[in-house]
C-alpha cells in the first residue's frame, strides 16, 4: 500500500511540474520578432535645445524626425529600438535604450554619446 501511495505521489508531482511548464509563454521582450513598445508612443524633443529635433514614434510603427524630415518605421527587437529609414538605408540601425523619469525621458547611445529626448506632453 505504501509503495502504491509513493508511486501515485511521484506521478502527481511529475504531472504538476509538467503542466506548470506548459503555461509559460514568451513575452514580447524576449521574442526575436519585433514589437511596438507603448512607452515610445508619441512626440519626443531632443534635450539639446541647439539641435532642437523632435521625433515621433507612432502606435502604428511609423517614425518621423523633424530635423531632416526623415520618415521610416520603428520596432523594438531583441531589446533594442530599431529604426528603418527606407530613403537612407545606411542610417537604419538598432540601438540600446533606457527610460527614466516615469518613462518621460528616453536615452539612446548615438555617435559615441548618450542622446536624450524628453516626452512632449
- pLDDT score of 1: 53
Q: Which three cell numbers stand for residue 15?
A: 504531472
- pLDDT score of 15: 33
- Beta carbons of 82 and 94 less than 8 angstroms apart: yes
Whole-model pTM: value is 0.69
pLDDT tens per residue, the chain (121 residues)? 544 433 443 434 343 333 334 333 334 445 567 999 999 999 999 998 777 789 999 999 999 998 788 999 999 999 999 999 999 988 899 999 999 999 999 999 988 889 999 999 8
* 120: Cβ contacts below 8 Å, ≥ 6 apart: 42, 43, 44, 45, 54
| Domain spanning 36-119: CATH 2.40.128.640 | yes
Amino acid at each position: 500500500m505504501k509503495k502504491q501511495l509513493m508511486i501515485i505521489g511521484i506521478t502527481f508531482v511529475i504531472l504538476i511540474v509538467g503542466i506548470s511548464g506548459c503555461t509559460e509563454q514568451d513575452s514580447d521582450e524576449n521574442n526575436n520578432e519585433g514589437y511596438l513598445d507603448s512607452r515610445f508612443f508619441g512626440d519626443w524633443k531632443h534635450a539639446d535645445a541647439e539641435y532642437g529635433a523632435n521625433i515621433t514614434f507612432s502606435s502604428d510603427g511609423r517614425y518621423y524626425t523633424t530635423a531632416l524630415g526623415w520618415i521610416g518605421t520603428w520596432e523594438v527587437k531583441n531589446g533594442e529600438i530599431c529604426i528603418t529609414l527606407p530613403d537612407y538605408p545606411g542610417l537604419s540601425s538598432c540601438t540600446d535604450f533606457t527610460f527614466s523619469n516615469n518613462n518621460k525621458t528616453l536615452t539612446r547611445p548615438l555617435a559615441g554619446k548618450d542622446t536624450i529626448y524628453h516626452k512632449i506632453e
